Structure 1
């Protein structure tokens, strides 16, 4: 069910949500969090689709904020809020409210979002594109326990990585890091099985790949060895090589959903290592709402005394 509201208010949107739930016969709300998606018109469709797919695992109220930038001085003086309320099959397993802000309302989107947050529930803010330089200090980011950005969406991802490192606050994370979860799990399992001392390491990827840089920094921090960055044609991260006195531990994924794992003295094995959809990445991030300490370690390249098996 969809309800369109023009030149509306947060109070009217809340009433429309209640009306929609009653109309489809589900007055009870079983949602576990509020997901705020801050995007532009161009990326709104894909972002909403990913959030709604993730809601099948984490029922949530999704608030999509689309700021319509003023083109003329007249536009800047015309403050208006339009909304599209979706419930039932049109909103995954929760509720979706698409908010389009015009004029001065765009500068105070937090005042629109605040009355629409689920009471006593965690808040997650995701910027698919155009993330603020300091997410924790952004008015919308300040409302959230977790703040999700994506360095793949910027023109200079490695420069963005350095900016994220300088501005990091507990609760920040990035989908460039989330994409590495299968790699980190596989590396931890391989080292646990091989039980060999690592003397050198290399990460292979396409140029300027933020996930590869985070993976290299994580390995440097955890293994206390220098990690070479090796440029390949991609796509994304294509391989990791860990040197030992008995030979190399290698995970190689030049293309496709399969990788080859090679351990010294053992035959190669084929393992699944696909590139995951954005909805899967978001769903993973919603499974934990505490600070991601390993992301901070990788972002800053800080060494720890823990073993690599703790991914």
Structure 2
């Protein structure tokens, strides 16, 4: 069910949500969090689709904030809020409200969003593009326990990474880091099997790849070894090489969903290591909403206080 509201208020939107739930016969609210997506019109469809797919695992109220760009003098002086309310099959497993803000309302989007948050439920804010310089100090970001950005969406990802180092606050994370979870798991398993100290490391990827840079910093912090960055033609991280006294540990994924794992003295094995969809990445981030200490360590390239003999 869809309800369109023009020149509306947060109070009227809440009433429309109640009306929609009653109309489809599901007045009870069983959602576990509020997902706020801050985006533009061009990227709104893909972001909302990813959030709806992730809501199958994490039923949520999704609020999509689209700040409309003023194109005429009248647009610049006009202050208005339009909304599209979706419930039932039109909203995945939760509820969706698409908010389009005009004029001064765009400068105070937090005052629109605040009354629409689920009571006593975590808040996650995701910027698919155009994230603020300091997410935790953004008015919408300040409402959230988890703030998700994506360095792949900017023109200079490594410059954005350095900015994230200085602006990091507990609760920040980035999908460039989330994309590394399968790599980190595979590397940890490989080191557990090899049981030998690492004396050198190298990460191979295309140039300006933020995930590769985070992986290199994480390995350096956890293993206390220098990590070489090697530029290849691959679209993502293509290989990680760990030098040991017994030989090289290699995870090689030049292309496709499969990787080859090579350990000293053992035959090579083929393992699944696919590039995951945005909805899978978002679903992973919603599984834990506490501070991601490993992301902070990877950003800064610092060793953790605990034992760091293994990754």
Q: CA–CA distance in 2 between the matches of 1:234 and 1:272?
A: 17
Matched residue, 1:180: 180
Matched residue, 2:255: 255
Q: Would you say 1:307 and 2:308 are equivalent positions?
A: yes
- Residues 189 and 309 in structure 1, CA contact (< 8 A), matched pair in contact too: no
- Residues 222 and 310 in structure 2, CA contact (< 8 A), matched pair in contact too: no
SS in 2 for 1:237: coil
Q: CA–CA distance in 2 between the matches of 1:163 and 1:85?
A: 36
Matched residue, 1:169: 169
- Residues 199 and 242 in structure 1, CA contact (< 8 A), matched pair in contact too: yes
CA deviation string 1:78-134 (max 9, x = no partner):
101000000111111000000000111000000000000000000000000000000
Provide closer, same or farther for how the CA distance between residues 308 and 124 of structure 1 changes in structure 2, counting only shifts above 3 A.
farther
Matched residue, 2:82: 82
- Residues 63 and 99 in structure 2, CA contact (< 8 A), matched pair in contact too: yes
Matched residue, 1:65: 65
TM (norm. structure 1) is 0.99
CA deviation string 1:159-200 (max 9, x = no partner):
000000010000000000000000000000000111011000
Count of aligned pairs: 310
Q: After the TM superposition, which residues 1-311 of structure 1 pair with which residues of structure 2 at under 5 Å, given as runs?
A: 1-304=1-304, 305-307=306-308, 309=310
Name structure 1 gaps, 5 residues minimum. none
Give the CA deviation at 1:76.
1.6
Structure 1 vs Structure 2 CA RMSD: 0.8
Name structure 2 gaps, 5 residues minimum. none
- Residues 201 and 228 in structure 2, CA contact (< 8 A), matched pair in contact too: yes
- Residues 188 and 308 in structure 1, CA contact (< 8 A), matched pair in contact too: no
TM (norm. structure 2) is 0.99
Provide closer, same or farther for how the CA distance between residues 74 and 92 of structure 1 changes in structure 2, counting only shifts above 3 A.
same
Q: CA–CA distance in 1 between the matches of 2:235 and 2:250?
A: 17
Give the CA deviation at 1:147.
0.2
SS in 1 for 2:173: strand
